[in-house]
Amino acid sequence: MDLNKDGSKIMEKGLEINAVEVKSEVSLKERLWIIIPVVLLIGLLATLGYNHYAEFTWDGFVGGFNQELLVFFLIGVFAQLVDGTLGMGYGATSTSFLLAYGVPPVVSSTAVHVSEMFTTGASALSHHRFGNINKKLVKHLLIPGVLGSITGAYLLSDVINGDVIKPFIAVYMIILAIIIIKKALKKNIVKKKTKKLSVLAVFGGFMDSVGGGGWGPIVTSTLLGRGRNPRYTIGSVNAAEFAISFASGITFMLFGGIHGWQVIIGLILGGVISAPLAAFLVNKIKRKPMMIAVGILIILLSLKTLSKLL
């Protein structure tokens, strides 16, 4: 009897030790989801500050802001609320507003790509905080999306004109939007397995870099059209978008340099502040109105793109 008791105590202690080891391993993995984005953002901020020190002096920082800083800040707030809540639209929304305000295309494109490196990081951290992320889905999208975005950014810098492909992206997104709205209006949405996620991620990352936006509309729309849960789809696609934006942003910075610091800072401040609110709203908005809103947003943005080109 004593041997049995001793043996059972040893087994219990062994199980406790294993449980602690497993818990610590899980805890480390959970922390990495926060540590990696934070380290990358701090490193990026330090690099930008070091390489552009003269532009961060008091005169260079404040000069020329005036009321324009508030305008760029509000654009950043609205664009991030759209993107963080619906899973798409930051690039298209912010670029449309900037161009309408009179910001040159080159400056607006650079500003959006650089600011997205920060806003998507804040969005990813916020969605992780509110439990909106399917980590398995993020892993499937991450590496292929990064490879696609780097390839697209490089080709856009040296080889092709992104305006040529924009009509095809717009038509594709309108078709997806119709599918999403049709799915939303159905009472019972049957979830179908999404095949070739890596191909979808490569295509989305490539089009995002080449067309100035498209990761959210292409990837989120396709996944929602297959009946995936909007909350986890939007959270996961936003989390993966941080890596895609970071990769394309670095590529654009290497080839084209940085312009329009006033615009960049306004967009970053607005986007970072509104990212937690957007992630919180994903939990509060119901599936049907969310999908309808996504579909309507895609159609409006795509029609606007086509009208400009035609």
* Confidence band of 144 (pLDDT split at 50, 70, 90): very high
Range with the lowest mean pLDDT among 85-89, 122-126, 251-255, 257-261?
257-261
* Confidence band of 97 (pLDDT split at 50, 70, 90): confident
- Look at residue 56 and tell me whether its pLDDT is greater than 70: no
DSSP 96-143: HHHHHHT--HHHHHHHHHHHHHHHHHHHHHHHHHTT---HHHHHHHHH
Q: What pLDDT is attached to residue 163?
A: 64
HSE-CB for 48 with a 13 A CA cutoff: 21
- Look at residue 141 and tell me whether its pLDDT is greater than 90: yes
Looking at every residue in the chain, the average pLDDT score rounds to: 76
* Confidence band of 145 (pLDDT split at 50, 70, 90): very high
Residues 270 and 81: their CA atoms lie apart, in Å, by 10
CA geometry: angle 29, 222, 247, nearest 5 deg: 50
* Confidence band of 22 (pLDDT split at 50, 70, 90): very low
202-257 residue pLDDT tens:
998 888 877 666 788 888 888 887 878 888 888 899 889 888 888 887 887 777 66
Residues 34 and 126: their CA atoms lie apart, in Å, by 10
**In the chain, % of residues over pLDDT 90:** 7
Residues 286 and 264: their CA atoms lie apart, in Å, by 33
CB contact at 8 A, 114 and 264: yes
CB contact at 8 A, 278 and 123: yes
DSSP 220: I
| pTM for this entry | 0.73
Q: At which residue do the structure tokens 């729309």 appear?
A: 221
DSSP SS3 for 257? coil
